[in-house]
Structure 1
Amino acid sequence: MPELQELYGRLRKYMFYFLSIYVLGWGFTDYQSIFLGLILGTSLSFFNLWLLVSKTTRFGEAVANSQKVRSLGMLTRMAVAVLGVMVVIWYPHMFHWISFVLGLMTYYIVIMIDFFLQTIRTRKQREER
């Protein structure tokens, strides 16, 4: 699955860009709880992305070897989100809950951004031919 690993490399790069912007926002603005919520949510979202890619890779290998696969880890990813919600509830003075939820959705946003960028790149390559 080289395409999946290539996609994961691009998504990982975008996630690091978002995290670096959030860390700069946390360090240089007065909205520290908002950016801390974004950092926590995006970090957990990044972990969920890694889980999804690793489970998908294992799924592809199992299908290629005619083996059974239990799941793609939806319950694990939900448990990670619940763990993050518990942290935000325990420390409401540190984390802004809306920004945490937005951070949890970051990898979906990153996937959409990558899709649009790849669509534009593909169209340009077709036009050049």
Structure 2
Amino acid sequence: MPDVRTIFQQHQRYIFFLLSFYVLGWGFTSYKTIFLGLVLGTALGLFNMWLLARKVDRFGDAVIRGEKVRSLGMISRMATAILAVVIALEYSNLFHLYSVILGLMTPYFVIMINFFKQAFHLHK
């Protein structure tokens, strides 16, 4: 089974592909606020996923050493999501609020899709 860093790097590649698609959508369509909202939300969602992967890696190391771990950083990830929404509300002429929220959820969609892809691949 791959470790957390390997899984994160795989998900990161998928998210960078989506981000490039969003940037192309922003550049070549008239839906600029929607695609810019997706870019902002997905970028901050990727940052949240990086924070979680880093905390999980540290958590695993601490468990192996027999130490206690305080948290996995839920408050910092929630603060990042709040920051994204505040930015979208403050600059509503640039960012579509629902697109920012959807972008924040994008890494979790990538995780679920990758999980199902691997689960079905193992059963073949």
TM range, normalised to the smaller chain?
A: over 0.9
Larger Rg: 1
Note the C-alpha offset of 1:4.
1.5
TM-score after normalising by structure 1: 0.92
Q: Look up the equivalent residue of 1:113 and give its one-letter code.
A: I
Any unmatched runs of 5+ in structure 1? Answer: 125-129
Aligned to 1:112: 112
Shift of 1:117: 1.3
Matches of residues 25-44 of structure 1 in structure 2 within 5 Å?
25-44=25-44
Give the secondary structure class of the aligned counterpart of 1:81.
helix
Structure-2 separation of matches of 1:22 and 1:4: 26
User: 2:122 and 2:66 mapped to 1: Cα distance?
Assistant: 34
5+ unaligned residues in a row in structure 2: which ranges? none
Displacement of 1:3 after TM fit? 2.1
Partner of 2:7: 7
SS at match of 2:66: coil
**What is the aligned-residue RMSD (CA, Å)?**
1.2
Determine the structure 2 residue equivalent to 1:18: 18
Task: Give the % identical residues.
Answer: 53
1:77 deviates by 0.0
Aligned twin of 1:93: 93
Q: Matches of 1:67 and 1:120 in 2, distance apart? A: 36
Q: CA deviation at 1:55?
A: 0.3
1:127 paired residue number: none
Describe the SS at the equivalent of 1:105.
helix
SS at match of 1:56: helix
Tell me how far apart the structure 1 counterparts of residues 26 and 32 of structure 2 sit (CA, whole Å).
5
**Cα distance in 1 between the residues matched to 2:11 and 2:65:** 28
Structure 2 residue aligned with 1:74: 74
Q: CA deviation at 1:92?
A: 0.6
**Structure 1 stretches of 4+ moved >3 Å:** none
The superposition leaves residues 74-114 of structure 1 with CA deviations (integer Å, 9 ceiling, x where unpaired) of 00000000111111111010000011110000011001110
